[in-house]
């Protein structure tokens, strides 16, 4: 995957598959520590300890259509090849949390890419699910919470084309802002 935002889109599919109703995506760019942390938490069905260990294995998948599952292994590889680490925590019935860290300035670190595109794709496909996307750069924070947007929209669906357009612009503008308006 060329962008970390594509890994995020991919890993969130696991949460959707686990029937999560709230999915949190946290991105922290810590320039002082030269660290990038991506965290994805869901309240889906979770996994037991045995299965949690297995998901890092490319030859494990819950699917029956084919024998490999590369989503998590690819993400782990992306983190580890940039001096980072990967952690996964899960509890049956409660949900799953993953955390991938990267050395921010590592030459092999893929760019974060378009988080606006990733979020718009997710919201368009699954307006029923609540997404909380939090992005920190240094001490600047931006939060997109679809629960709040839904409150403002009332009966208008989240996947209305005009609303999707607004979400895209909202994310792009705010990311520019927290990146110092560049």
Partner 1 sequence: MPVIKSMEELEKIRKQAKDMINLRVDNETKTRIVVGMGTCGIAAGARPVMLAILDELKKRNITNVIVTETGCIGLCQYEPLVDVIQPDHPKVTYVNMNPEKAREIVVKHIINNQVVDEYVVPNI
Distance CA 95, CA 75 (A): 19
Question: Residue 45 interacts with partner 1 (CB under 8 A)?
Answer: no
Quick one: 6 or 82, whose CB is closer to partner 1? 6
For position 34 contacting partner 1 by CB under 8 A, the verdict is: no
Q: Does 179 bind partner 1 (CB under 8 A)?
A: no
Residue 22 touches partner 1, criterion: CB under 8 A: no
Position 83 contacts partner 1 (CB under 8 A): no
The residue count of the chain comes to 182
Structure tokens at 140: 């600047």
The answer to whether residues 24 and 15 touch, using CB atoms and an 8 Å cutoff, is no
Min dist CB 181 to partner 1, Å, is: 10
Task: Name residue 133's beta-bridge partners.
Answer: 25, 144
Binding of residue 100 to partner 1 (CB under 8 A) = no
Kindly tell me the burial class for residue 76, based on how many C-beta atoms sit within 10 Å of its own C-beta (0-12, 13-18, 19 or more): buried
Work out whether 137 is an interface residue with partner 1 (CB under 8 A).
no
Return the residue of 44, 46, 69, 84 that touches partner 1, per CB under 8 A.
69
The set of residues, in sequence order, having a beta carbon less than 8 Å from that of 95 and lying 6+ positions away, is: 18, 20, 41, 42, 43, 44, 45, 46
Interface residues with partner 1 (CB under 8 A)? Answer: 1, 6, 9-10, 13, 16-17, 63, 65-66, 69-71, 74, 117-118, 120-121, 124-126, 149, 152-157, 159-166, 169-170, 173-174, 177
């Amino acid at each position: 995957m060329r962008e970390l935002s594509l890994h995020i889109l991919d890993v969130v599919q696991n949460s959707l598959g686990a029937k999560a109703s709230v999915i949190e995506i946290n991105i922290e760019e810590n320039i002082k520590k030269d660290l990038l942390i991506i965290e994805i938490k869901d309240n889906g069905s979770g996994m037991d300890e045995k299965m949690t260990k297995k998901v890092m294995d490319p030859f494990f998948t819950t699917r029956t259509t084919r024998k490999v599952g590369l989503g998590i292994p690819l993400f782990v590889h992306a983190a580890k090849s940039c001096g980072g680490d990967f952690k996964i925590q899960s509890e049956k019935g409660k949900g799953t949390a993953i955390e991938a860290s990267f050395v921010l300035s590592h030459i092999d670190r893929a760019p974060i890419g378009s988080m606006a595109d990733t979020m718009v794709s997710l919201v368009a496909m699954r307006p029923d699910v609540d997404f909380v996307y939090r992005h920190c750069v240094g001490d600047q924070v931006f939060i997109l919470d679809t629960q709040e947007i839904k409150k403002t929209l009332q009966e208008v669906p989240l996947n209305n084309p005009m609303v999707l357009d607004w979400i895209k612009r909202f994310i792009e503008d705010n990311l520019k802002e927290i990146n110092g308006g560049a």
